[in-house]
Amino acid sequence: MYKYVKKLNYPIDIKKKDLRMAKYIITQLGGASGELGAALRYFSQKFSMPDDKGKALLNDIATEELGHCEMIGTMFEQLVKGASIKELEDAGLGSYFTDHGHAVYPIDASGVPFNAATFNSTGDVFANLSEDMAAEEKARATYENLIDLASDEDLIGPLLFLRQREVIHFNRFKELYDYYKKMYSKTK
């Protein structure tokens, strides 16, 4: 079903260590509006879509979100590369280092680990798609905040790309929502 292409959706080559941004970026992996939650949300919800059109869209976007997890992990890894324990502690990443070293682990910017309770799969097509649109808007807003905090163009480029993908996903979910509204209004 899946074919892994060993290439990121957008090239990432961050040359400057930036532990402050690493601490913020990781929220887009494990935070409430992060990519891991989005991937699992859409994958779970696809099973209750009423037709193949909905199932395919949710599966496609879930798969893309996994690629975004890889991008966030790559950014984090490049931002902390070569950091000393002292630098990590000074950046507020001492407790992170204690548990995970320089590894990538899904947490939010406050250090709270990923929890699947941050998303829902109700079985109701309209509730699910409304949640999906809201999730994409929250992720877009988070990316905009990260862009505002960043100063390195090597980091801003991938963040802009990811922000734009959130807008596209919102639009795709809205199209599907409208399609089902029209379809179900004809049956009543």
Q: How confident is the model at residue 2 (pLDDT cuts 50, 70, 90)?
A: low
pTM, full prediction: 0.94
Average pLDDT, rounded, for the chain: 94
From the list 140, 177, 178, the residue with the least C-alpha distance to 161 is 140
Q: Give residue 4's pLDDT.
A: 78
Nearest-angstrom CA–CA distance, 129 and 170: 9
Say whether pLDDT at 63 is over 80: yes
Model confidence pLDDT, tens digit, residues 94-140: 999 999 999 999 999 999 999 988 788 898 999 999 999 999 999 99
β strands within 71-170, DSSP E = none
- For 64-79, how does the pLDDT look when each residue is reduced to its tens digit (9 = 90+)? 999 999 999 999 999 9
Domain 19-186 grouped into CATH 2.40.110.10: no
pLDDT digits (tens, 9 = 90+) for 39-55: 999 999 999 999 999 99
pLDDT band at 188 (very low <50, low <70, confident <90, very high): low
Q: DSSP letter string over 27-88? A: HHHHSTTSHHHHHHHHHHHGGG-SSHHHHHHHHHHHHHHHHHHHHHHHHHHHHHTT--HHHH
Per-domain boundaries in the chain: 19-186
